[in-house]
Amino acid sequence: MTDDLTEHLSHLRARLGSLQEDDLPVHGGRTLAYVYDSGLGAVDELAREAVAAYAGSNGLDPTAFPSLLQMENDLVAFAAGILDAPDSAVGTITSGGTESVLLAVQSARDAHPEVTSPSMVLPSTAHAAFHKAAHYFGVRAVLVPVGPDFRADPDAMAAAIDDSTVLVVASAPSYAHGVVDPVTEVAAAAAARGIRCHVDACIGGWVLPYAARLGRAVPPWTFAVEGVTSISVDLHKYAYAPKGASLLLHRTPSLRRPQYFASAAWPGYTMLNSTMQSTRSGGPVAGAWAAVHAIGDAGYERLTAEVFGAVDALVAGVADIDGVGVVVPPDSTLIALVTDETCDPFTICDEMAERDFYVQPQLSYGDQAATVHLSVSAATLPLVDDLLAALASSVEAARAAGPVRVDPGIAAYVASLDPAGIGDDEFDGLLEAAGLLGPGPGPDDAAPGTSSGLALPSRMAEVNALLDLATPALREAVLVAFLDRLQRHGERPSG
Ligand SMILES: *Cc1c(COP(=O)(O)O)cnc(C)c1O
């Protein structure tokens, strides 16, 4: 290597590090959404080495890279064990929970080519990935309101099944409220009509089996439940694997068959895929394999005891903080907090960020108030007291700050927008009205953090409150316009 190249690479290495400075920390247990931290640094290091070592390997052809097939089958076997799967069960590694869900829906649709206008029955709390599947695959989502306990209503779901239904869904647990649906009843209703039942255990699938083993009350939801035909479980959540890995298991090979795609209708190699991706990096497969085997069954049981230790302590501690409470006692490792009228949940999120804890705002939905979401990690356990103290003082600060006032002019502007037509002009108008326009284009336009277009405030309560006033369709449209604006090179968020 020339000296010039060496110097260039070391500059880039430093730059890769400095680019990450504004990101949320992925370690340390203070980020309570998006990342899941086992707290086991050495395991993480091995998993990252595995990602790096296999980053260039291609799962497109398992005969060319038999290592990846081996690791995939090992991971499926491990999952089958904890999910009470019968010997007939099969599985596939995917890029994430959304892809697992997409494939479950696509398989259900394609198992019934005779159904001309297919639909699926979802509890209203099902993950947005199902709405994405509906959008991609033309499978109508029939939403059934959940009961007052935020769990799916099996009678109402049974009643919603009709001749067009190709799939019925339950969550273990739901992301927004952290409770497990009554899978036994939902799956029975599906089975009675000969319909597939998918359990979305993307976020609970790797902890609930261990929770049950530890003697916690976990309602049945695995393949042990008759009528459950497929389960999704994310490795990159509570298996504490690096990002980019989830599993989709089917009860039998024939249930999985429609998931496969082959095409010999061109002059190149016959394309043969089990997932939506074709070229598929070996990195996440090897990273997940390394994490799962490094932690192992006993390790997951210990981590599950830790994470539930944190969940229990947080739930107990929240009860002592005036102004906030849990929406519902959690069945799993997710906590949703609701506030009373004395404090604003979005302000609490901002105040928590000031105290170096990232918690996630959840906008109001139907008649459910806005909430604060916490995905608790094993690494959060040693920080429980700090977190509770931060929450108590955040609630106090939110009280002192008072209700978030949305400027009536901005609210009126937003309300006047047509979700179907938010173009550049409308979005510029919104930014201007909200005072979010960054410094105009200038000579240093290309310098990160100083470019034109967007100036993200460090406090998001006003923005969230504004979104909260909007209809779901308008929220989607405004946020799409926002993302579209972010993803223009040369225009980077500042602030
Ligand atoms: C996270 C999650 C998903 C989607 O998974 P991604 O990995 O983000 O694509 C689906 N369902 C539930 C319940 C989840 O928590």
pLDDT > 70 fraction of the chain, expressed in percent and rounded: 96
Asked whether residue 389 falls in the same domain as residue 428, the answer is no
Q: Determine the residue of 95, 234, 360 to mutate for testing ligand 1's pocket, defined as the one with the most ligand atoms within 8 A of the Cβ atom.
A: 234
Q: Is the CB of 96 under 6 A from ligand 1?
A: yes
Distance 375 CA to ligand 1 centre (A): 12
Beta bridge partners of 337: 326, 372
- Nearest CA among 375, 372, 378 for reference residue 309: 378
- Residue 270 zone, left/alpha/beta (φ > 0; ψ -120 to 50; rest): beta
- Would 35 be classed as within a structural domain? no
Q: With a cut of 50, say whether residue 450 has pLDDT above it.
A: no
Q: What is the CATH number of the domain that holds 165?
A: 3.40.640.10
Q: Looking at the structure, tell me whether residues 301 and 338 fall in a common domain.
A: yes
* Cβ of 97 less than 6 Å from ligand 1: yes
Q: How far apart are CA 49 and CA 212, in angstroms?
A: 32
Q: How far is the CA of 232 from the centre of ligand 1 (A)?
A: 9
250 is a domain residue: yes
CATH number, residue 385: 3.90.1150.10
- pTM of the model as a whole: 0.95
pLDDT, residue 1, reads 74
Domain that holds residue 92: 48-292
Of the residues 236, 268, 292, which one is the last residue of a structural domain? 292
Answer yes or no: do 383 and 430 share one domain. no
Is 401 in a helix, a strand, or coil?
helix
What is the C-alpha separation between 362 and 372, in angstroms, rounded?
A: 6
Same domain, 436 and 467: yes
Residues 92 and 285: their CA atoms lie apart, in Å, by 11
Same domain for 109 and 205, yes or no, is yes
Give per-residue pLDDT as tens, 241-281: 999 999 999 999 999 999 999 999 999 999 999 999 999 99
Q: Which domain-ending residue is among 348, 382, 401?
A: 401
For residue range 47-90, list pLDDT tens digits in order.
Answer: 999 999 999 999 999 999 999 999 999 999 999 999 999 999 99
Determine contact, residues 187/157, Cβ cutoff 8 Å. Answer: no
Name the residue of 146, 177, 183, 203 whose CB sits within 8 Å of the most ligand 1 atoms, as the mutation to test its pocket: 203
Residue 257 lies in a domain: yes
Q: Which of 349, 381, 401 is the last residue of a domain?
A: 401
Q: What is the tens place of the pLDDT at every residue in 357-398?
A: 999 999 999 999 999 999 999 999 999 999 999 999 999 999
434 and 350 belong to one structural domain: no
Together in a domain, 206 and 165: yes
Query: What are the beta bridge partners of residue 166?
Result: none
In a domain, 90, yes or no: yes
The 10s digit of each residue's pLDDT in 302-349 is 999 999 999 999 999 999 999 999 999 999 999 999 999 999 999 999
129 close to ligand 1 (CB < 6 Angstrom): yes
